Amino acid sequence: MTRPIPELPDTIRPVRWQDDHLVLLDQRRLPDESIDLHLTDVVATGQAIRDMVVRGAPAIGITAAYGMVLAARRRYQVDAGGWLAALVGDGRQLAAARPTAVNLAWAVERLLATARGVAAGADPVPVLLAEADRILAEDIAANRTMARLGAALLGQGVRILTHCNAGALATGGIGTALGVVRQAQVEGRLAKVYAGETRPWLQGARLTAWELLRDGIPVTLVAEGAAAWLMAQGHVDWVIVGADRVAANGDVANKIGTYSLAVLARQHGVRTMVVAPTSTLDRSLAAGAQIPIESRAAEEVLDCGGRRLAAAGASAWNPVFDVTPAALVDALVTEKGVCQPPSPAALAALGAR
């Protein structure tokens, strides 16, 4: 008799609509404090995205969708006849909050398309809120599908190295890369999870470790510089990460350091899996070289926790993302299927499903 697989833990909700406003879990305060921010306008929503209150491509997209609801409510209250034109401007400003994560612009455009279908004179808020709720529900469902598809590629006793945070905190549900980790855990496949610290924001140390431990999954932190030696010692079977944008040829933009891990993985016979919903695919860009790469303030590298670490006078280069060539990705897992490896033809086929 087959033993039933336990239910996946799914209790973290970093983005939610409560009554008439948007609530974000302030991820800058984790793991020390769990603090919610209550937002009532689109300007504050854009600022929260820029300031890393919320991060992770799917979660940013969901936040943007609800931000457009807030914008539409204000515009309709001010001018019931001309709200749509003003909303387009709000959407343009919101989409510029962070340039690399394609889910942001995707969600804004989806809400604008919905807004254009609202009957003349009608209140757009209920219609747009329903669409934002659909985006959240779709992401939750996609996370679960990707978890199953990704875990099916793993053997027994698998040892995983992940990078940044591609879990519940970065999505609407159980996560992309960490969704696969969670699925592997409940299926009894998981032997070990290593999480890279992920400088300069330490998303691995602060966020990935927090949410895995919260779900009872032991995690071992490693400094980025230790990854090569960890692989050389034979302690890693898969590198599993999320993505902020995937070009039409399968090149992947993700947190800075992902490219390094993919290169190291190939050198050491370790496989690399990218887990991302199809909303992260950008078929308008032929290759990763066209993906805009966000840079942030030098202080994020020179300081840590508000304390200066670098020598006075030192400068810093702080790209937030890098691009991993498709040739270094063994499997791209989406809610519509798995590309092994990703290629223009394989990605095009996903669009037909």
Three-class DSSP category at 322: strand
Q: Are 172 and 139 in contact (CB under 8 A)?
A: yes
Query: Can you read off the two tokens belonging to residue 23?
Result: 């609530």
Q: Outline where DSSP puts E strands in 82-134.
A: none
Say which residues have a Cβ less than 8 Å from residue 278's Cβ, sequence separation at least 6.
142, 334, 335, 336, 350, 351
Catalytic residue among 90, 139, 237, 244: 244
> What are residue 80's phi and psi, to 5 degrees?
-65, -20
Say which residues have a Cβ less than 8 Å from residue 136's Cβ, sequence separation at least 6.
15, 62, 65, 172
Alpha carbons 10 and 18: distance in angstroms, whole number: 18
> Is residue 251 flagged as an active site residue?
no
125: closest CA among 236, 17, 268?
A: 17
Catalogue the active-site residues.
244
